[in-house]
C-alpha cells in the first residue's frame, strides 16, 4: 500500500516540505533551510517520507468508499478494493496462462526436437511455448520418456501432438479448436500446426474498474424466486459466466413445484477438451475390434458429445460407433433424477462410448484419448446450489448445460467447387449463432449479413421441444450434424 518513489505525487512532497521548513525557521531561525544539512537531509528527506505517508492515507480513504472508488478506480489500493468488493460477493480474477495441445504436421518423423524455447504464434498474435523437451520418433517408437511417437497421415507427412502454454497472460490466448499457428523461428520439416482442442485458463488480472463494474451489477437477494435472484446466486458462486443473460430457469415437467431445471451457458460456445481413459476390449469381427470406454460424471460434467478418439500409445484414429449418456447415482447431495434423459447435460451423467479400431493390437485394455465437447463450470455450480446455506427447503435444483438447439445451414455461393471460403462462411455463421443470448432466436437477415460476400444460405431449426425452445444457440449444427 506504501507508494513507490517513482509513483509519488510531488504535491504531497511539496506540501510537507513547506510545512517542515516553516517549523525549522520558527524553532531555529539561525539555520538556513534552503540548502545544506537542514534543507537537503532533514527537510527534503522528511518531506519525501511524509509525502509517502500522506499519499498512502489518501489512497486508503479513497479505497473505503464505493462511490469514491467508482469516480477513480485505479487510484485505490487493490488490497482494499478486494475487501470492499468482497462485500458484494465479487472476487478478483488473477493472471493465469492458457494451456492446450497443438497438432504439428512434419515432412519427416525423425530427428526433430522441441524444447521450452520453441514458440508458436497464432494469427491473433498469441505466443505459445512448448511445455518441456521432446524428441520426435517414428510411429510406434519410444526411446525415452521425452520421446513423442508421430503418426503417419497417409499423404507422406507425419503428425505429432505437443503440449504448449501461453507466454503472455491474456484471455486472447484461449485459442479455439482448429486455430492455425506458425513457429516463431523456422523448424526443419515443418508443414502446419493447429490447436487440437479449445485452450483454457488464459486470464489477465482483473482491474479495479472491472471489479467495481461487476459489483455495481447489483446484489439481488440470492434465492430461487425469480430470474434476477437466481442470477445473484450464480454470481455469488464465483463460477465464471460470460453473460448472466445466458441463464434460464424452468420448472421440471415431472415435478413442477418441487424441482427446478437451471439451464446455464457459461461460455458463448462449447469448449473442447482432451480426456485420457482406459478402454476395455469388446467383440472383434475380422480385423475390426470394438473398445468400450466410460467417462464418469466427474470427468466431463455438462458433456455434449465426443468429437474424436485416438489410441494414446500410437495416435491411431478410432471410429466412434456409439455414445450413450446415463444417469450416475453415485454422487452425494444429488437431486432426484427421474431418467437418463433428465440427467443429460448435467453433472450427473456418465458417457458410455463404443469405439472401433482396425488392426488393433492383441491386448485386453487400451489407453484412449477422447476429445469431448462440454460446457465448463456445471459441476461447480451444481455443488454450490446444493450447499445447505444456499439450497431452498422443499426445492430440488438441477443445473444443466444449455441443451444444443441444432440448426441446419444450407450454403449456396457463386463457387462451383468446395473451397476454403466455404469453411470461412460456416465459421462466420457459427460466430453469429454463438453471439446470441440464451433463448434468443437467430434472425435470418442478420445471419445472411454475417456471411462473406458471394454467399447466401437458409437456416432452419432441426428439432423443437421444451428444452430446445428455451435454450437455443447453445450449439450450432451444419448440414452433416457437425458441431462447430
DSSP string, 222-250: -SSSSHHHHHHHHHHTT---S-TTSEEEE
Q: Assess whether 59 and 114 both reside in one domain.
A: no
Confirm whether 250 is domain-assigned: no
Q: Is 466 inside a domain boundary?
A: yes
Cell output for 148:
513423442
Write out the E strands in 167-285. Answer: 181-183, 190-195, 247-251, 259-264, 271-285
d(CA 148, CA 104): 12
Q: Which of 14-28, 218-232, 452-466 has the highest mean pLDDT?
A: 14-28
DSSP letter at 17 equals H
Assess contact for 203 and 242: CB atoms under 8 A: no
Give tens-digit pLDDT for 304-360.
Answer: 888 888 887 777 788 889 989 888 766 655 677 878 888 888 888 889 999 998 888
Q: Which residue has 517408437 as its cell numbers?
A: 141
Query: pLDDT class for 420, splitting at 50, 70, 90?
Result: very low
283 plus 368 within the same structural domain: yes
Q: Are residues 119 and 74 in the same domain?
A: no
For residue range 224-245, list pLDDT tens digits in order: 777 777 887 887 777 888 777 7
What pLDDT does 416 receive? 43
Q: Are 236 and 89 in contact (CB under 8 A)?
A: yes
Residue ranges with strand state E in 396-469 = 396-401, 407-413, 455-461
- Judge if 346 and 275 occupy the same domain: yes
Helix (H) or strand (E) holding 364: none
Query: Is 317 in the same domain as 348?
Result: yes
Q: What is residue 201's three-state secondary structure?
A: coil
- The domain spanning residue 366 has which CATH number? 2.40.30
Domain residues for 34? 5-86
* Residue 73 belongs to some domain of the structure: yes
| Same domain flag for 103 and 190 | yes
- The structural domain count of the chain equals 4
* Residue pointed to by grid coordinates 491474456: 170
Question: Has residue 402 been placed in a domain?
Answer: no
User: Is 470's pLDDT higher than 50?
Assistant: no
Of 143, 167, 195, which closes a domain? 195
- Alpha-carbon distance 2 to 222, whole Å? 37
Same domain, 278 and 350: yes
The reply to whether 53 and 114 lie within a common domain is no
Instruction: Decide if 31 is inside a domain.
Output: yes
Average pLDDT, integer, range 43-67: 72
Q: Which long-range contacts (CB under 8 A, 24 or more apart) does 326-331 make?
A: 326/350, 326/352, 328/296, 328/297, 330/297, 331/297
Q: Identify the domain boundary among 141, 164, 195.
A: 195
d(CA 339, CA 153): 42
Handedness of CA 168, 84, 223, 385 (dihedral sign): positive
pLDDT, mean over the chain:
75
Backbone phi and psi for residue 431, each to the nearest 5 degrees, phi listed first: -60, -40
Number of H helices and E strands in the chain, helices first, is 12, 21
Same domain, 112 and 184: yes
Give me the DSSP letters along 420-436. Answer: HHHHHHHHHHHHHHHTS
Say yes or no to pLDDT of 183 above 80.
yes
In this structure, are 368 and 281 located in the same domain? yes
Please check the confidence at residue 463 and state whether its pLDDT lies above 60: no
> Are 188 and 145 in a shared domain?
yes
In the structure grid, which three cell numbers stand for residue 268, read together?
Answer: 458463448
User: What is the structure's pLDDT at 23?
Assistant: 77
pTM of the model: 0.57
Amino acid at each position: 500500500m506504501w507508494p513507490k518513489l517513482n509513483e509519488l505525487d510531488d504535491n504531497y512532497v511539496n506540501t510537507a516540505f513547506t510545512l517542515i521548513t516553516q517549523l525549522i525557521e520558527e524553532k531555529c531561525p539561525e539555520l538556513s533551510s534552503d540548502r545544506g544539512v537542514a534543507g537537503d537531509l532533514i527537510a527534503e528527506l522528511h518531506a519525501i517520507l511524509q509525502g509517502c505517508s500522506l499519499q498512502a492515507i489518501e489512497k486508503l480513504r479513497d479505497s473505503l468508499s464505493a462511490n469514491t472508488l467508482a469516480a477513480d478506480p485505479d487510484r485505490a489500493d487493490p488490497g482494499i478494493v478486494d475487501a470492499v468488493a468482497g462485500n458484494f460477493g465479487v472476487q478478483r480474477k488473477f493472471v493465469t496462462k492458457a494451456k492446450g495441445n497443438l497438432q504439428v504436421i512434419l515432412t519427416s518423423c525423425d530427428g526433430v526436437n522441441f524444447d521450452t524455447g520453441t514458440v508458436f504464434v497464432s494469427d491473433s498474435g498469441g505466443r505459445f511455448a512448448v511445455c518441456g523437451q521432446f524428441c520426435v520418433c517414428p510411429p510406434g517408437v519410444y526411446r525415452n520418456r521425452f520421446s513423442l511417437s508421430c503418426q503417419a497421415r497417409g499423404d507422406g507427412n507425419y503428425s505429432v501432438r505437443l503440449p504448449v502454454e501461453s507466454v503472455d497472460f491474456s484471455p486472447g490466448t484461449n485459442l479455439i479448436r482448429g486455430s492455425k499457428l506458425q513457429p516463431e523461428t523456422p523448424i526443419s520439416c515443418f508443414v502446419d500446426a493447429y490447436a487440437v482442442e479449445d485452450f483454457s485458463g488464459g486470464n489477465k488480472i482483473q482491474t479495479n474498474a472491472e471489479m467495481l463494474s461487476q459489483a455495481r451489477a447489483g446484489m439481488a437477494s440470492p434465492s430461487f424466486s425469480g430470474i434476477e435472484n437466481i442470477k445473484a446466486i450464480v454470481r455469488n458462486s464465483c463460477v465464471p459466466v460470460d453473460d448472466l443473460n445466458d441463464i434460464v430457469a424452468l420448472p421440471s415437467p415431472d415435478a413442477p413445484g418441487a424441482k427446478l431445471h437451471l439451464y446455464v451457458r457459461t461460455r458463448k460456445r462449447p469448449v473442447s477438451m482432451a480426456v485420457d481413459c482406459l478402454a476395455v476390449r469388446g467383440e472383434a469381427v475380422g480385423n475390426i475390434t470394438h473398445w468400450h470406454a466410460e467417462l464418469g460424471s466427474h470427468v466431463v460434467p455438462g458433456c455434449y458429445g465426443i468429437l474424436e478418439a485416438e489410441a494414446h500409445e500410437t495416435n491411431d484414429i478410432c471410429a466412434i460407433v456409439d455414445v450413450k449418456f446415463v444417469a450416475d447415482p453415485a454422487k452425494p447431495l444429488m437431486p432426484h433424477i427421474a431418467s437418463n434423459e433428465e440427467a443429460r447435460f448435467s453433472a450427473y451423467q456418465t458417457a458410455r462410448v463404443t469405439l472401433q479400431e482396425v488392426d488393433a493390437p492383441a491386448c485386453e485394455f487400451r489407453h484412449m484419448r477422447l476429445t469431448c465437447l462440454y460446457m465448463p463450470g456445471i459441476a461447480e455450480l451444481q455443488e454450490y446450489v446444493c450447499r445447505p446455506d444456499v439450497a431452498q427447503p422443499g426445492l430440488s435444483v438441477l443445473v444443466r448445460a444449455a441443451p444444443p438447439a441444432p440448426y441446419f445451414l444450407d450454403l449456396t455461393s457463386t463457387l462451383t467447387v468446395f473451397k476454403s471460403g466455404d469453411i470461412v462462411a460456416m465459421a462466420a455463421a457459427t460466430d453469429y449463432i454463438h453471439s446470441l443470448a440464451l433463448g434468443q432466436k437467430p434472425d435470418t437477415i442478420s445471419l445472411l449479413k454475417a456471411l462473406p460476400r458471394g454467399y447466401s444460405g437458409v437456416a432452419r431449426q432441426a428439432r423443437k421441444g421444451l428444452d430446445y425452445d428455451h435454450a437455443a444457440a447453445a450449439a450450432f449444427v451444419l448440414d452433416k450434424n457437425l458441431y462447430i
